[in-house]
């Protein structure tokens, strides 16, 4: 399996001829994970509640690896990441991972979120974010009570009301990966998303991966409901559904859409297809080990494998198609890939001087 970001001639051609002129000079990546392999539990976790294929892309992602990936993938562009850890198992070392993220944020002058635990009390939650100079919380369903069946997990099981109260008090960010098999179309997810916006109006909610709507079947009537919202934002990370991007833009407009990558996952060489409502990552044979038992993975070889580019580029190409279909202009593209996130981060407490990393200001 590859241990770094490899950019081939095919990838350079895709970037130079399809993406470079589409993207603004400055980018903010609102969704990136940084961690070291030693923070991850080695023993099997029976309560992981997450797909395992991303582990095949990278065992870890140091801050230096992240910056190198940007250098290779986006030559000629400046990229500022919002970073957080990857404590996806209850056995992962959450505290050491957060300490590493804090150190990286301070060293490289980048914004960061604290990977949080729903068991923390209101004062502990607030103190951990505030003392670490984080801009809010990254929450994840795997931190929920292990006695809960995965199908029964609700947003409030890993983003409890007492923690939302703190986020609302400070106007902090929460990066929310919604649960449940129905993904974005799930009625309970939608009801709770709308309820959070209504009851905690100062929280800057970012719905990761467009609510995990990777296939057309993941949507249902979600965008009809979400068109009535006014504040929640959506990142496009690790998603290649141009059709769902188009629906999102038409429902909420480009000012609430944010570019995110989910690096290091988007270092993967692949393309994504949907079959029967399930997404499948098509990858070169042998590149990511034995994937025969994974329903989200399929191998190809020969010319088809040679034509596969990077997940990152597949995501941006999909958004490019949606932008064309919805008539977005260059200012809108700049909003999605830079300005929307810049404004949100500064409102949450990031020093505006951090934007110097991208060569720009608000």
The fraction of the chain above a pLDDT of 70, given in percent, is: 96
pLDDT given for residue 89 in this prediction: 81
Residues 6+ apart with CB under 8 A from 269: 6, 283, 284, 287, 308, 309, 310, 311
Q: Residue 356 — pLDDT band, cuts 50, 70, 90?
A: confident
Helix axes 311-326, 242-252, angle to 10 degrees: 50
The torsion of the CA quartet 41, 46, 47, 50, rounded to 10 degrees, works out to 80
> Residue 142's CB: how many other CB atoms inside 10 A?
20
Beta-sheet strand order (sheet of 278-284): 271-275, 278-284, 297-300
- What count of residues does the chain have? 362
What average pLDDT score do residues 319-329 get?
A: 98
For residue 173, the cross-strand partners are 136, 204
Residue 47 has pLDDT above 70, yes or no: no
| Residue 297 domain-assigned (yes or no) | no
| Cα 168 to Cα 204: distance, rounded to the nearest angstrom | 8
* Pairwise CA distance, residues 86 & 60, whole Å: 9
Residue 260 lies in a domain: yes
Range of the domain at 147: 9-266+312-353
User: pLDDT tens digit string along 107-125?
Assistant: 999 999 999 999 999 999 9
Inside any domain, residue 76: yes
The H or E element containing residue 78 is strand 78-84
Cα(205)–Cα(6) distance, integer angstroms: 33
Q: What is the pTM of this model?
A: 0.96
The 3-state DSSP class for residue 186 equals: coil
Peptide bond before residue 87 is cis, with ω within 30 degrees of 0: no
pLDDT at 360: 62
Q: What CATH number does residue 249 fall under? A: 3.20.20.140
Calculated CA dihedral for residues 96, 260, 209, 321, nearest 10 degrees: -160
Mean pLDDT of 33-40: 91
**156 belongs to a structural domain:** yes
| Partners of residue 127 on adjacent β-strands | none
- Lowest mean pLDDT segment, chosen from 37-41, 256-260, 302-306: 37-41
- pLDDT category of residue 359 using cuts at 50, 70 and 90: low
On the question of pLDDT at 163 being above 80, the answer is yes
Banded pLDDT at 51 (limits 50, 70, 90): confident
Specify if 299 maps to a domain: no
Whether residue 4 has pLDDT greater than 80:
no
Which region among 21-25, 42-46, 144-148 has the lowest average model confidence (pLDDT)? 42-46
Counting residues of the chain whose pLDDT is more than 90, the rounded percentage is 90
- Structure tokens given for 315: 């995501």
Q: Pairing mode, if any, of strands 278-284 and 271-275?
A: antiparallel
The number of domains in the chain is: 1
Assess if residue 198 is contained within a domain.
Answer: yes
Is the pLDDT assigned to residue 77 strictly greater than 80? yes
| pLDDT confidence of residue 262 | 98
- At 308 the pLDDT is 98
What is the tens place of the pLDDT at every residue in 285-315?
999 999 999 999 999 999 999 999 999 999 9
Whether residue 287 lies inside any domain: the answer is no
291 is a domain residue: no
């Amino acid at each position: 399996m590859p241990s770094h970001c490899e950019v081939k001639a095919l990838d350079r051609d895709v970037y130079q001829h399809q993406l470079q002129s589409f993207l603004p000079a400055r980018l903010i990546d609102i969704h990136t994970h940084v961690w070291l392999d030693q923070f991850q539990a080695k023993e099997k976790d029976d309560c992981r509640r997450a797909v395992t294929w991303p582990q095949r892309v990278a065992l870890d992602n140091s801050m230096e690896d992240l910056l190198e990936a940007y250098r290779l993938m986006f030559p000629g562009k400046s990229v500022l990441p919002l970073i957080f850890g990857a404590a996806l198992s209850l056995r992962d070392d959450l505290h050491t991972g957060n300490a590493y993220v804090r150190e990286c944020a301070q060293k490289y002058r980048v914004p960061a979120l604290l990977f949080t635990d729903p068991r923390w009390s209101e004062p502990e939650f607030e103190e951990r974010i505030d003392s670490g100079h984080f801009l809010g919380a990254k929450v994840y369903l795997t931190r929920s009570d292990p006695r809960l069946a995965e199908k029964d997990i609700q947003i409030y099981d890993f983003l409890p009301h007492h923690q939302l109260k703190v986020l609302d008090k400070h106007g902090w960010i929460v990066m929310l990966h919604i649960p449940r098999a129905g993904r974005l179309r799930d009625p309970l997810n939608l009801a709770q998303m709308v309820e959070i916006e209504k009851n905690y109006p100062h929280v800057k909610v970012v719905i990761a991966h467009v609510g995990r709507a990777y296939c057309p079947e993941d949507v249902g009537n979600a965008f009809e409901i979400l068109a009535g919202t006014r504040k929640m934002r959506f990142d496009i990370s690790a998603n290649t559904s141009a059709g769902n991007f188009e629906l999102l833009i038409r429902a909420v407009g480009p000012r609430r859409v944010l570019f995110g990558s989910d690096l290091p996952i988007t270092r993967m060489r692949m393309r994504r297809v949907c079959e029967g409502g399930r997404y499948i990552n098509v990858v070169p044979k042998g590149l990511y080990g034995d994937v025969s038992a994974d329903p989200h993975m399929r191998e190809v070889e020969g010319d088809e494998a040679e034509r596969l580019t990077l997940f990152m580029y597949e995501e941006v190409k999909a958004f490019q198609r949606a932008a064309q279909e919805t008539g977005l202009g260059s200012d809108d593209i700049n909003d999605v890939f830079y300005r929307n996130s810049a404004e949100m981060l500064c409102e949450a407490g990031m020093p505006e001087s951090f934007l110097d990393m991208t060569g720009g200001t608000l």
